[in-house]
Amino acid sequence: MMHEVILNYIVLFLLLEAYEVSWQKAPSLMGMLLRMNIYYRKSIFLFLIMQPTFYFSIGFVMLTDYSVSAMILLFIKTVDIATKILLLEQVFVKRELSQELTLVLLAPINGFLPYVGFLIYPPLIAFAI
């Protein structure tokens, strides 16, 4: 019974994560930011709605009575969204980029990078329950 519950949470989270990867995936960080900026420009609320794993994490923290693993998951997802918003503001609103940041954003990323969450998050979910 408990294994089924854990598996259900992991599968749900992975489906939500796959959705996020599908609309954000690009060959560089700048490409990812360009895709995200489409929604961010329309509304920050739309951009936030497009991050369902964040809301899953909030609910999961409450369901697990604030377990350490669930809190780590929520922290990672919060930092992830905050970093995206800061980069979107820096690149597309303020238009202030250092040469180093420009190089990092334009550098190609490994095709595996968008899928790192598929390895990191399931153990945190399992440990939280």
Q: What is the pLDDT of residues 43-95, one digit of tens each?
A: 999 999 999 999 999 999 999 999 999 999 999 999 999 999 999 999 999 98
Asked whether 92 and 84 are in contact (CB, 8 A), the reply is no
pLDDT at site 129: 81
pLDDT at site 113: 86
Instruction: Classify residue 114 by its DSSP letter.
Output: G
- Residue with token string 């550098």: 107
End-to-end CA distance of the chain: 12
Mean confidence (pLDDT) of the chain: 92
pLDDT at 2 over 80: no
Query: Which of 13, 1, 2 is closest to 123 using CA atoms?
Result: 13
pTM of the model: 0.88
CB-CB neighbours of 97 under 10 Å: 15
pLDDT at site 89: 95
Encoding tokens for residue 91? Answer: 């690149």
Residues shown for the chain:
129
Q: What are the angstrom distances between the C-alpha of 54 and each of 20, 27, 91, 92, 108?
A: 10, 24, 23, 23, 26
* Average pLDDT of span 96-112: 88
